[in-house]
Amino acid sequence: MEGNKLMKVMSVHADRETANSQIGFIGFGEVVYHTLAGLSKEGIRGMRVYSRSAKDPARSLLQQKRAGEVGAELAVSLEELVRSSRVIISSVKGDVSLEVAAEAARYLSPGQIFADLNNAIPSVKRRSAEIINACGAGFADVCLLELPIQVGSKALMYVSGDSAERFKNIMDCYNMNIQVIPGEAGIAASIKALVNIYQKGVQSVYLEFAACAHKAGIDIRLLEPLLVKPLVNLPREKDMAFWLIRGALLAKRKAGEMKEVLKMVEELGIHPIMLEATIQRLAWVARFEMNKYFEADMELDKYTEIIDKIFEISRDIELEVR
C-alpha cells in the first residue's frame, strides 16, 4: 500500500478508536439534550457536557436530572471538559461562539478536534478556526440542517474545515447523519446562512400573508392546499429553478402586478413590509432584461445560466449586483 494511503487508513482507524473515548459538548440546550437523548435510545451513554448553569443553585438540580435522563456526565468546568475530550462540540449561541472557541483554545492540544455547530456567520467561523488551529487542534465547521427535537441524533449536519473528514469518521461510529462539504471553515456556515435566508423569508411572508388574510376576512386555512403544492407535475426540489426562471424573466410584469396588490394591502391597513421587498427585488432584476436572453419555458436545469448572465451583464452595463 502506498505510504499516504496507509497513513489515511491508520488515521481513520485511530479516529474510530477515538469514538470510544470522550466526546464533550459545550452547552446543554435543546440541541445537545435531544442529540444525547437520541444517542441514549441507541444505547450510547457516557458523553460529557459542560453547562455553565450547572453551578447555578437554582438550575443545577434540573441540569442533573436532564443529564441523568440522557446518560450524560456533567463536567465541572470548561477546562475539565476540554482537557478530557478528544472531540469538543460547541453548541451555545452564534453571538458567543467566538468567545467560547477562544476560551476552549486555552486548554486544547494538538490532535483534538473542536467542532462548532453554532449558527455563526462564515467570517466568525473562519476566525474561530484560526484561533483553534493556532494551538494545533483541528476545526470542524458544522451546520445543523434538521432539528434534533424532531429527529434526535439523526439530524442532518454538513461539515467543512480542516478536520471535517476526521469529525465525520468519529461521529459516524454513533450513526450520526453527517455529510462532508469540501472546503474551508465558513463554507458550511455559508450554506446554513443561505438556507436561513430562505426559511426566515418564507416565515416572514407567511406572517404578513396571515395578517392580510385575517384583515380581508379570509380563513387562511382555505389557502393551505394552494401554497403547499403550487406546481403540478414537478418534484418539490425543482421549485427553486421554476420560480427563479419566472421571477427573472417576467420580473417587469410581476412587479407591476404586485404594485396593485400593495394598494390592496395598504387598504387593509397592513404595513406591506415583505411585499415592498418583493417589488424592489423584481424591479431590480427587471433592469437586467433577462427576457432578451432566455425564454420562460427554458429547460429548468439551466436556471443557473440566468445568474451567470446577470453577473456578466452587470460588468458591461455597470449595474452592480446587490
Ligand X SMILES: NC(=O)c1ccc[n+]([C@@H]2O[C@H](COP(=O)([O-])OP(=O)(O)OC[C@H]3O[C@@H](n4cnc5c(N)ncnc54)[C@H](OP(=O)(O)O)[C@@H]3O)[C@@H](O)[C@H]2O)c1
Chain contacts with ligand X (rule: CB under 6 A): 27-31, 51-53, 91-94, 96, 100, 117-119, 144, 147-149
Minimum CB–partner distance for residue 42 and ligand X (Å): 19
CB-nearer residue toward ligand X: 100 or 241 = 100
Judge contact between 104 and 88, C-beta under 8 A: yes
CB-nearer residue toward ligand X: 158 or 288 = 158
Find, among 183, 128, 138, 126, the residue nearest to 159 by Cα: 183
For residue 241, the one-letter residue type is A
Minimum CB–partner distance for residue 88 and ligand X (Å): 12
Which residue do the cell numbers 467542532 mark? Answer: 115
Distance CA 284, CA 173 (A): 49
CB-nearer residue toward ligand X: 98 or 306 = 98
Minimum CB–partner distance for residue 260 and ligand X (Å): 38
Distance CA 148, CA 7 (A): 35
Find, among 289, 320, 281, the residue nearest to 306 by Cα: 289
Distance CA 40, CA 100 (A): 26
Minimum CB–partner distance for residue 139 and ligand X (Å): 16
3-state helix, strand, coil in the chain (%, to 5): 60, 10, 30
- What are 140's strand-pairing partners? 115
CB-nearer residue toward ligand X: 154 or 259 = 154
Distance CA 295, CA 140 (A): 43
Minimum CB–partner distance for residue 33 and ligand X (Å): 7
Minimum CB–partner distance for residue 172 and ligand X (Å): 20
Judge contact between 153 and 176, C-beta under 8 A: yes
Per the structure block, which three cell numbers stand in for 263? 394598494
Minimum CB–partner distance for residue 96 and ligand X (Å): 4
Give Cβ neighbours of residue 9 (< 8 Å, ≥ 6 apart).
1
